[in-house]
């Protein structure tokens, strides 16, 4: 096997979409507890856009190559072998990494690998890890979701919210609300994913609508990717003793003048920020185990929908990033490597 491989590189280390290109780079060598995976497909995430532009801090031990989720075949095992999962060379897997998935090969901990079910395609599996683990983390580890609680997911057609809405419904949330900035996406959240209701944040007063739907109580949990732009509205919408989980800042990081934080005390609100990628392997591994136990059976029998908006060959990586930047997708954008 050659000590070189092809990978997506960024000219000058950061830049616009036009800076993305495929280059020859050193092939990773798996450490003792790692496996070398020949990648068949990888998923794109919004953090990839930020990293490409130089706005996303990569963990110091992570590959500088973009991408954290993938599917492929085990080509080689490190000195420790297949780990407790008993993986072998030739096994078909998918998994989560700290970086390096936009490439022909990736070296990743065997504990972060999941066996690829025969019922799912390479493309479907490549879009599971980051998306579903992030939704699981936000709901269970951070917001402490329990059956009977109500929950609101912003950015309803984003991959994480698509996962989260389905998890919430399957695990007996009392109501599952969503927001989006297009009527089509709101309709999608209700008709395709099973949300109780969804509101267009551009054309409706979504705070008023949520409060009306909950008889003025508000929702117990809000999962937010928007940040500063929705901060006040989130405080107005959350119920007493509610939890707001902030996973992104698509709407900026600077609060508007006049923001009233009184609800933090008057409603005893908890606001938590989190990033999955910065967590250590033990933490991520627990979430991987929960994914396997809780969600994988539902992927296999079709109860959970794995929605892919577009599949492109990795040579069209610029087009793939452009799709994400346009913010018109419903589901994952996946690249395949032949």
Instruction: Yes or no: say if 54 and 60 are a contact pair by the CB < 8 Å rule.
Output: no
- The per-residue pLDDT for 58 is 87
User: What is the residue-level pLDDT of the chain in tens, covering all 338 positions?
Assistant: 789 999 999 999 999 999 999 999 999 999 999 999 999 999 999 999 999 999 988 888 889 999 999 999 999 999 888 777 889 999 999 999 999 999 999 999 999 999 999 999 999 999 999 999 999 999 999 999 999 999 999 999 999 999 999 999 999 999 999 999 999 999 999 999 999 999 999 999 999 999 999 999 999 999 999 999 999 999 999 999 999 999 988 899 999 999 999 999 999 999 999 888 888 888 898 899 999 999 999 999 999 999 999 999 999 999 999 999 998 888 999 999 98
CATH T-level topology, domain 132-274: Rossmann fold (3.40.50)
First-residue to last-residue Cα distance in the chain: 17
pLDDT at 83: 72
Residue 81 has what pLDDT? 80
User: Residue 221: what pLDDT?
Assistant: 98
CATH number for the region 4-128+277-336 comes to 3.90.180.10
Reading the block at residue 318, the tokens are 């610029």
The pLDDT of residue 257 is 93
List where CATH 3.90.180.10 sits in the chain.
4-128+277-336
pLDDT of residue 324: 94
Per-residue pLDDT at 228 = 95
Which residue's structure tokens are 């969804």? 198
Query: What is residue 255's predicted lDDT score, i.e. its pLDDT?
Result: 94
SS3 state of residue 10: strand
Structure tokens belonging to residue 99:
């970086």
Task: Give the Cα separation of 165 and 43 in Å (integer).
Answer: 20
Give residue 11's pLDDT.
95
How high is the pLDDT of residue 280?
85
DSSP per-residue codes, 125-186: HHTSHHHHHHHHIIIIIIS---TT--EEESSTTSHHHHHHHHHHHHTT-S-EEEEESSHHHH
Residues of the chain with CATH 3.40.50.720: 132-274
CA distances from 145 to 169, 222, 249, 282 (A): 12, 11, 23, 21
Q: What is the dihedral of CA 67, 72, 75, 76, to 10 degrees?
A: 60
Q: Residue 333: CA atoms inside 13 Å, Cβ hemisphere, count? A: 25
Helix (H) and strand (E) counts for the chain?
Answer: 11, 15
Can you read off the two tokens belonging to residue 264?
Answer: 């933090």
Task: Note the residue count of the chain.
Answer: 338
Residue 228 CB burial class (10 angstroms; 0-12, 13-18, ≥19): middle
Strand stretches in 183-237, DSSP E: 197-200, 219-224
pLDDT of residue 277: 85
């Amino acid at each position: 096997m050659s000590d070189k491989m092809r990978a997506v590189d960024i000219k000058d280390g950061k830049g616009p979409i036009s800076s993305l290109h495929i280059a020859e780079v050193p092939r990773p060598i798996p450490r003792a507890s790692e496996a070398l995976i020949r990648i068949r497909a990888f998923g794109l995430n919004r953090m990839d856009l930020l990293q490409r532009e130089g706005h996303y801090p990569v963990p110091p031990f992570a590959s500088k190559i973009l991408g954290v989720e993938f599917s492929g075949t085990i080509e080689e095992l490190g000195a420790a072998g297949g780990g407790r999962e008993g993986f072998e060379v030739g096994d078909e897997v998918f998994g989560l990494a700290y970086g390096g998935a936009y490439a022909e090969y990736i070296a990743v901990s065997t504990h972060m690998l999941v066996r690829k079910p025969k019922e799912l395609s390479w493309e479907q599996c490549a879009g599971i890890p980051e998306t579903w683990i992030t939704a699981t983390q936000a709901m269970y580890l951070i917001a402490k979701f329990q059956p009977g609680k109500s929950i609101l997911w912003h950015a309803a057609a984003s991959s994480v919210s698509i996962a989260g809405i389905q998890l919430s419904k399957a695990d007996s949330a009392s109501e599952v609300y969503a927001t989006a900035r297009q009527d089509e996406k709101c309709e999608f959240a209700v008709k395709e994913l099973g949300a109780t209701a969804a509101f267009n944040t551009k054309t409706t007063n979504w705070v008023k609508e949520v409060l009306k739907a909950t008889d003025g109580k508000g929702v117990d949990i809000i999962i937010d990717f928007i940040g500063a732009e929705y901060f006040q509205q989130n405080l107005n919408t959350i119920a007493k003793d509610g939890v707001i989980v902030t996973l992104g800042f698509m709407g900026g990081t600077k609060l508007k003048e006049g923001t009233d934080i009184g609800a933090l005390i008057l409603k005893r609100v908890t606001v938590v920020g989190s990033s999955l990628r910065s967590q250590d392997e033990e933490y991520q591994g627990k979430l991987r185990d929960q994914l396997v136990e809780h969600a994988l059976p539902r992927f296999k029998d079709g109860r959970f929908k794995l929605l892919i908006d577009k599949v492109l060959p990795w040579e069209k990586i610029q087009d793939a990033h452009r799709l994400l930047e346009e913010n018109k997708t419903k589901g994952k954008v996946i690249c395949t490597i032949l």
